[in-house]
Every structure is written in C-alpha cells, then in structure tokens.
Structure 1
C-alpha cells in the first residue's frame, strides 16, 4: 500500500497503461501503429487502454492524414504528464520506504 499523501494513480498503474504513459512521456506525440508495435499489443488491447487513459483526461488522440492514410497520433495531456510524473515519484517513494 502506498504511503499516505502520494500521487499513486490506479488508472496509470496497470502495467500496460504504465508502459503507454512511459512511451508517450518520452515524445511530443507517437503514432498508434508505432506504439502498438513497440508494446507488442493487439489493436483492440491498445485501444482499450488508450480509452481508459483518454477518459481520465491523460491522453489526447488526434487523427491526421499522412501518405494518403489516416493516422492516429497520441500524446500525453498536460494533466496526463503531471499524473504520470507524480505516479513515478510515488512508486519511487514506495520502493525507497521498502528499502529503508
């Protein structure tokens, strides 16, 4: 159980959603297909996790046409970036408490 007062986030904490946030935090925006390949998820699994993150206000999804194909671009919202950073800090605090 996380210490009181930490920003442990149940939405982000699920393993695949944590991986999604980590990948998105490293870039301005990421194309859906690239993220799907990098994480090794099916389209439906990735879509489900993205929907949960979007519903929480953490991920923005933008469609754009490139090379005559519609592409879905993903990015963390400012709120999502803050929540991810706070969640990582909460995890570090949990680990630090356990090691102490």
Structure 2
C-alpha cells in the first residue's frame, strides 16, 4: 500500500501554511479526499494509492484572500506519478504570493 502526505510552507512569512484546503484527486480526476493543513502545515491522506497519476489541488487563492494577501495563484495543481510499489510519497509545497516550488520530501 502506498500512502501520501503533504506539507505546505509559507515561504514569504517563514512559517507553516495553516488552514490550506487541499484535495487529493485520483487517476480519473475524481476527488478521493479533501482536507486542511494543520497547525504545522501538514496533511496526511488515508486513501491507499496504486500505480498511476494522482493530483493534489491546493486552494491557495482562497487561503491568501482570507489573509488579505494579493496573489496570482487561484490554485496550485500538482500532478504526481505514483509507483504503487513505493511505501510513501511526501509532497511539499513552498508557497509565496507570486511563486511556488514543489518537491518530494522524505
């Protein structure tokens, strides 16, 4: 079984991005789970992943709007090739109002 988690960091403020809504989408584009980042900017999914292309959709526009921060991102959509033989995928997002970087962490 392959599992997935995410961590969102507010790179501009230098702290975790608390309260970002995130959706996990399956290979066919259906929403498998939704959640919100915790006080450390983390979210762990309970859905078991299999080999295929999955996506995480981060509702960054709404998150920045709630903080009164102008941004160019309506959302960040991250597509990931999952190898079902891997135990875990930890996908991190470093976020600022006008740029972002994503990477696979440990």
For the criterion TM > 0.5, the same-fold answer is no
The TM-score with structure 1 as length reference comes to: 0.23
Judging by fraction of residues, say which structure has more strand: 2
Query: Which structure's relative contact order is higher, taking Cα pairs within 8 Å and 6+ residues apart?
Result: 1
Name the structure where helix makes up a greater proportion of residues: 1
Larger C-alpha radius of gyration, 1 or 2? 1
> So what's the TM-score if we normalise by structure 2?
0.22
